[in-house]
Structure formats: C-alpha cells, structure tokens
Amino acid sequence: MKSTIISLITSIIIIISTPNLLAQAKTIEERLADLEKRVAALEAKSSSDQTIRKPQTPKTTEKITDEIIISTIKEKLKKEVPPTWAGSLMGGRNAVIEKIDVQQIGNYNEQGKYWPVKCRVKGICDADLLFETKKVAFDKVGDFKIHQDDYGKWYAEIETF
C-alpha cells in the first residue's frame, strides 16, 4: 500500500513537473543559440578589426636578396671582424670589403627568426694587436645569420669565429 502511494505521488510529481522541465530546456536552448550568435558576431568583428589594425611591414619569410645580405655583412664587419679572420686574439674592425660572394642561402628559421647564409668574404681590416693596430688582409668563408628587427632594419651576426 505504501509503495503504491509513493509511486502514485512520484507519477503525479513527474506529470506536473514535465511541462516545467520542457519549458526550462527550451529556454536553455534559446539562450545557447543566442550565445552562439553573439560569439559569431564578436569573432567576425575581431577578425575585421585585426585586418584594419595590422601595420604594413615587409614579410621576413620572403626570399632574402643578395643586396640585403651584402650590405648587412659589410656593416657588421665594419664594426667587428672575427679573431680568426684578423689573425689576432682581439679580432679586428673597420673592414674594407673588396668582394662578397653569396655561396648559399638556407631556409628561413622561424624559431630563431633569421636567414642562414654562407658567404666568401675578401677584404682588409684593422687587426687589434697588443700595442698597435695593423692592416691585415683576409679571404674567408663564413656563416652568417641575417635578421630583421621590429622596425624593419636588417642586421647580420657572424657564426664563424
């Protein structure tokens, strides 16, 4: 008798609450659909804002030119010549470049953000000796990394020391 009363009460509760549950489920579905529309509108707005805000900068992953390579290497060697090239433990500076042969250009390194380049460089520099500076000629093959900074300026790093 108790079990029939309990099952009868349970059935009545289910019957009464079923329309409420259906109404709640419907409102949840409506809310979800509304949120999906809002998210889609925000994504569309943010993608259009990003295309407007992006500054026009040169792409560094496009193939680098020999002119850029040669000018950056000349600029670097004017400031610093490797010790093995200058024949001095202190290295050299003020290089006057006679010739730069670009022998190989590697693939752009996304992680390090540089172009690996192998060049043969021929020139003269001021070798820093202990108590004097001496003009020294060099004809060496070197590995360089050609970078571009955030402002679009190109610069080289010497890998061969």
pLDDT tens-digit series, residues 105-154: 999 999 999 999 999 999 999 998 888 899 999 999 999 999 999 999 99
pLDDT tens-digit series, residues 20-59: 655 665 688 888 788 888 888 888 877 665 554 443 344 5
Q: Given this model, what pLDDT does residue 65 score?
A: 93
Q: Given this model, what pLDDT does residue 61 score?
A: 57
Please check whether residue 48 lies inside any domain of the structure.
Answer: yes
Torsion of CA 25, 26, 31, 34, to 10 degrees: 150
Same domain, 103 and 124: yes
Number of domain units in the chain: 2
pLDDT tens-digit series, residues 65-109: 999 999 999 999 999 999 999 988 889 999 999 999 999 999 999
**pTM of this structure:** 0.60
Q: Which helix (H) or strand (E) holds 136?
A: strand 133-148
Please check whether residue 60 lies inside any domain of the structure.
Answer: no
Q: Given this model, what pLDDT does residue 53 score?
A: 47
d(CA 144, CA 98): 18
The answer to whether residues 125 and 77 touch, using CB atoms and an 8 Å cutoff, is yes
Which residues lie closer than 8 Å to 91 by C-beta, 6 or more apart? 80, 81, 82, 83, 85, 127, 128
Please check whether residue 147 lies inside any domain of the structure.
Answer: yes
Residue 12: which domain range?
Answer: 1-54
